[in-house]
Structure 1
Amino acid sequence: MPELPEVEVVRRGLAEHLSNTTVLSCEVLHARANRGQESPLAPQLVGRRITGWHRRGKFLWAALDDDRALMVHLGMSGQMIVGDPGTATSPHIRIRVHCDNGRELCFIDQRTFGRWLLCETDAEGTPVPAQHIALDPLDPRFNELETARKMRASKASIKSVLLNQSLISGVGNIYADESLWAAGIKPTRPAYRLRRRDILNLISAVQEVMHRALAAGGTSFDSLYVNVNGASGYFSRSLNAYGQTGEPCARCGTPIRRVAFANRSTHYCPSCQTL
């Protein structure tokens, strides 16, 4: 599933090509892509002006001129492809939109776990379904000290805490493993047993890893994650822990270990991730 860097890459592409443009037509080609919508999406979206594209953690949305939002969840395989009409030819196009700037937006979702949802917003413009999501570590309003306090109050493992979107959003399995490796923290360590400075160091590692991933266009292991132009990210070349089972640790040379933990694959160095 795309994590914060991948969703932010998509958001930036959409903001570049599809801001301040009006929806001329909308086709919903697969009902699951708009599940949960009480009224059909197309009649409500046609004629609406997209004023901007926003994100919190893994949640992405278009702000509309009627103070509602078009929230997009990419799921496991969702892609937002922008181009001239007819550019996207995938058999897995679920929603197709034409805008008054001549651009076509296609939502492609092979596994159909993603969806679009037109919804109300709060006073700050955040979609109601995303209000429970915490600020992410790249948000200018993100408070490191307050987040560290909440993280240290948990008796869960530090990796589970990192994946808790109500505490810190946007971090998934890939960037949790990478950040814990960068901070030298064992994934199974209970969060409350870490010092405040250890947690703050981890938050700093999360921010640094995500900035590097953004600069590389995100992480792509297959064709399911691409940006709005159909290009893959290449941060996978820079991974130090995730997916590196048996490879020598870049810091100490010990083979990276993979374990099943909290229903996920977790990758870490057993020698230098000792905190």
Structure 2
Amino acid sequence: MASSTYVLYHYTPSLVAAIIFSALFFLTTAFHLYQRISTKSKYFNPFIVGGIFQIIGYAARAVSRFHTTSTTLYAMQTLFVLLAPTLYAASIYMVLGRIIVFLHGEHLSLVPVRFMTGIFVMGDVLSFVLQGAGGGVMSSSGSANLLIIGQWIIVAGLCVQLLFFGAFIITSMLFHVRIGRSPTQQAENSKTSRFLRDWRGLLFALYTASVLILIRSVYRVIEFAQGNNGYVISHEVFLYVFDATMMFLVMVVMNAFHPAVVLQRNPSIYYRGQKSSRTDAELDELRV
């Protein structure tokens, strides 16, 4: 393993915390995989890959407890944990598009549905590439200059993520307000007394997941902007409170409010006696 004389950690990484979160992410990811297979919700594939990234990232962090000078392990745990939320975001973007199509509310969306997934996922990919490039620069050498350059590239990627996530939340809320004021027939027919099986509950889940990811991204921007000698990066507790815990909650929320429970894609499913007219082919055509 490549090693560095540059101080990578200002503390000894907690073995117990890394193992606990790796195990927690394994459990929620396994459940997501089960939900994905049983519901055939392929739009949740990126979300599951994000969970796998978290497992690998915290496993690498556990090993780094015994190799604190290894730039390979440092970059590995940093990169996998950093990139996971961009994969969560990709699935979340697709879910909003599917909600809008499911409710026949395309005319109420600020962003045309046929472009929505492409626009937000494109921003997500840009954020992913920048953060990945930053992690790559950090792992290419143990020199202080390259580590600093890598950190600022990561900050740029996180800022892109914040920008697109902010736009996404505005788009979601505006659609929610509009469909509340002028509900479509499908929106009325799809209402149930069971919050977990209602599109309103699903929108609530998207807001919750989005806010958790935003909190985590703001924390990461502060962390990397302060640099390797900053207060935030020098205290491991911030990582577990504002990143690991936030992202675990995102996965649990989407376990509880799984989109496939609401977005029934089988046209034979009826809501209060009325048939849903949107088919798999139509949804795929809209790329949501």
Which of the five TM-score ranges fits, normalised by the shorter chain?
under 0.3
Q: Higher strand fraction: Structure 1 or Structure 2?
A: 1
Greater share of residues in helix: 2
Structure 1 length normalisation: TM-score? 0.25
**Structure 2 length normalisation: TM-score?**
0.24
Larger RCO: 1 or 2 (CA < 8 Å, sep 6+): 2
